Chains A and B, each alone.
Chain A
């Protein structure tokens, strides 16, 4: 059928304006500008357009890349642990170290929080619903020793860690969260349970939390060693001026 050895020479169409090349190079320019300036444009979009999108009734606008979670992991793979296998340990400078299963955790007195989630890389998701247990309740159960001034949070991804001072940890809006938007917390969002520090940037809210260690001093977390502020208040750290969450 198709004769690939067609003897007729293909005429060289080297006339005309090279619009194709211009479009191609133009797109590379747009892409490069997107990489270099995208963080700023993203900030602006989250601030100006994000609130409009959350009011859109059709749900179509929610497909736009504005006001949505990005899933970051610091390890090569997505950490995953079943709720049946999950335990959370509280130890370090405490009187009674203990471990709770997922079911024991959800049986504790729950706290609900609905707050904006702000990432230090610029994106913000409005009105996220969380349910979990106040970190203070876990601390009271363990009995914090006088020598302890800070907490170190360990992730079962094997690499991530975070920190809070004892005073920060005792705030009402700091919880160990196991529900997200009305559903059990998925692997992507740090399930079965994660830390959620409402007034701070997302990196403080350690995902895949499996151990809380009371320490003598603040031990810098994964990103803090890499330059992020230890006290990651939204709008008052990391050189950013976002609205408080």
Chain B
């Protein structure tokens, strides 16, 4: 076969297959940056929190002063990336996605009951992701508020210090469960994880997992 013949054969083969759909942009740079900075802060907060809370880890890590400073300052920084990401023109997609996370369709509610899941049509986010986002947002604010009461306890009634510690501890437990669950689900679906790493997901993934969003984006 000459080189020219080979080329012709290859381009014929290309024509025979339908062109592959290009990948879809799921998260833009701002959303990805907010996500990963938040992830880092959460990681630091959870690990330093564990070191402050659990005796055996405290003994292992030591440096309680440094650990506490890391925990407090990471906590104070926590709202910054989201607030910076959500404002201005660059935050348009993030704002839209926050709106999507907020709104639940009838199908979303049905999705949680396994038996009713057949025939459910989802949008860009599945209800588990929506619930996770709402929980992390609410728990984040509670942690910030109760952490502040614990840090500046002199300004508050004695019972508030106990109550804030109480709420901080139990919400921390919830956050640990939610974050571990979030990571497990993410690593089980490589395409979804790629969406947060590189920004795009295969069109076929979107058609399967987020059909309404896929329809939205069809030219």
- Residues of chain A having any CB pair with chain B under 8 Å: 1-4, 6, 8, 10-21, 23-28, 30-31, 34-39, 41-42, 63-65, 68-71, 77-78, 120-123, 186-188
Contact = CB atoms under 8 A, between A and B. Distances in A.
B141 A23 contact: no
Interface of B: 25, 28-29, 52-55, 58-59, 64-65, 68, 92-93, 96-97, 99-105, 108-109, 123-124, 130-131, 133-135, 137-139, 141-142, 145-146, 149, 158-167, 169-171, 173, 198-200, 216-217, 219
B68 A78 contact: yes
Given A13-B100, A19-B108, A28-B138, 6 more contacts: A10-B97, A23-B134, A28-B142, A65-B170, A65-B173, A188-B58
A39 B159 CA distance: 6
Nearest to A70: B165
Given A15-B105, A20-B130, A34-B163, A27 B142 contact: yes
24 contacts: A1-B199, A2-B25, A2-B28, A2-B29, A8-B219, A12-B96, A13-B100, A14-B103, A18-B103, A19-B134, A20-B104, A24-B141, A25-B138, A27-B138, A27-B139, A28-B141, A31-B139, A34-B171, A35-B167, A39-B159, A65-B169, A77-B65, A78-B64, A188-B58
Contacts of A23: 131, 134-135, 138
B108 A31 contact: no
A34 B150 CA distance: 13
Nearest to B195: A2
Contacts of A122: 162
B96 A31 contact: no
B154 to A, nearest CB: 9
A24 B138 contact: yes
Contact of A10 (B96, B171, B198): B96
A18 B102 contact: yes
Chain B contact surface mostly: helix
A77 B64 CA distance: 9
Nearest to B174: A27
Contacts of A42: 162-163, 166
Contacts of A27: 134-135, 138-139, 141-142
A23 B25 CA distance: 28
Contacts of B171: 31, 34
Q: Which of B103, B146, B162, B164 has the most CB of A within 10 A?
A: B162
Contacts of B123: 13
B6 to A, nearest CB: 30
B146 A35 contact: yes
Pairs of residues from A and B, 4 with the lowest C-beta to C-beta distance, nearest first: A27-B138, A2-B199, A34-B167, A38-B163
Contacts of A77: 65
Contact of A13 (B93, B103, B159): B103
A16 B25 contact: no
Contacts of A64: 173
B102 A39 contact: no
A149 B28 CA distance: 73
A16 B158 contact: no
A71 B142 CA distance: 21
B217 A8 contact: yes
B109 to A, nearest CB: 8
Contacts of B216: 10-11
A153 B50 CA distance: 33
A21 B102 contact: yes
Contacts of A69: 55
A13 B99 contact: yes
B92 A10 contact: yes
B130 A39 contact: no
Contacts of B53: 65
Contact of B166 (A8, A39, A187): A39
